[in-house]
A and B are shown apart, each in its own frame.
Chain A
Amino acid sequence: MVVTQVIFIILSAVALIGALGVVLSRNLFHAAIFLVLSFVGVAGFYVLLEAEFLAMIQILVYVGAISILIIFAIMLSRRLMSPDFRASNEQWLWALVAAVALFAILVIVLIQVDWPVAQAEVPSDTLVELGKALVDPGQYLLVFEVASVLLLVALVGAVIVARER
């Protein structure tokens, strides 16, 4: 067992325990804290995959912004944090069956497929190349611009939807 594999197993434990906490904890605030734990585990995966920039984005956007947004929403609707509130609906058993069945199918398929894995080193200037690719008209400039328009529209839409009438 190599060091990176041990780190991988620890990170998967962090991410999966966080995810299970999100799904199972009755208190919504605890669920949000577990969500942060899961996001941090996923950021660790990105570091292990040598995508450091994505790991930083993960920390900034998910841990820093999205989870704070979720905690704000929980606090604004705080009345429902009462412990006698039933957390799951009547179809939770079917949901469990569907999730477990999907996981079983995915694992069976994933193990059988022979992925065309390649051994290669990550070039040291990945971040520079990523920055160039995002503003290169021949590559991802259109995607980049559409994403920025999407963010603007979502910002305006969120303000209008949540506004006091």
Chain B
Amino acid sequence: MQVPLSWYLIVAAALFCIGLYGALSRRNAIAILMGVELMLNSVNINLLAFWRHVEIVRGMLSGQVFAIIVITVAAAEAAVGLALVIAVYRTRKTVDVEDVDLMKL
């Protein structure tokens, strides 16, 4: 185990911030979903890095189980999110989130 824990945490933080920027700055709804997927991935790196470096001495696996659940939720989120994008595209002929602001005050 020669790679220190903090390296993983810093790379995951960078990945999270890139995903955050993508989710906040893109106009296309699909691009926003891709940013969210990047953020979920970076969280998974953190979970597994902590499992490998901290939790493992106790012989527990909650880091891995948590990562599996996060992947499951990410898959569900992608399916429902892209279905919403398709539905919006079919009714309004756009996937630009700035044109879909009916609920905005």
Contacts and interface: CB of A to CB of B under 8 A. Distances in A.
Pairing of A with B:
yes
B54 A118 contact: yes
B21 A32 contact: no
Contacts of A58: 44, 71
A144 to B, nearest CB: 8
Contact of A130 (B1, B5, B65): B65
Interface in A1-25: 2, 4-5, 8, 12, 15-16, 19-20, 22-23
Contacts of B94: 80
B83 A77 contact: no
Interface string B10-22: 1101111111111
Contacts of A162: 82-84, 86-87
Contacts, number: 240
Contacts of B17: 99-100, 102-103, 106
Nearest to B40: A62
Contact of A80 (B9, B49, B82, B96): B96
Interface in B1-34: 1-11, 13-22, 24-28, 30-31, 33-34
Interface residues of B, number: 75
Interface string A140-153: 10010001001101
A53 B79 CA distance: 23
Contact of B80 (A74, A123, A134, A161): A161
A35 B38 contact: yes
A46 B48 contact: yes
A117 B61 contact: no
Contacts of B9: 106, 110
Interface of B: 1-11, 13-22, 24-28, 30-31, 33-35, 37-38, 41, 44-45, 48-49, 51-54, 56-57, 59, 61-62, 64-65, 67-69, 71-80, 82-87, 89-90, 94-98
For the complex of A and B, list the 9 residue pairs with the smallest distance between their C-beta atoms, beginning with the closest.
A154-B76, A95-B24, A92-B25, A162-B83, A23-B22, A158-B83, A99-B21, A103-B17, A106-B13
Given A89-B25, A147-B68, A158-B83, 20 more contacts: A2-B2, A16-B14, A16-B15, A35-B37, A38-B15, A45-B11, A49-B8, A49-B52, A50-B52, A61-B75, A62-B37, A72-B82, A77-B30, A89-B27, A107-B10, A110-B10, A115-B54, A117-B5, A118-B56, A157-B80
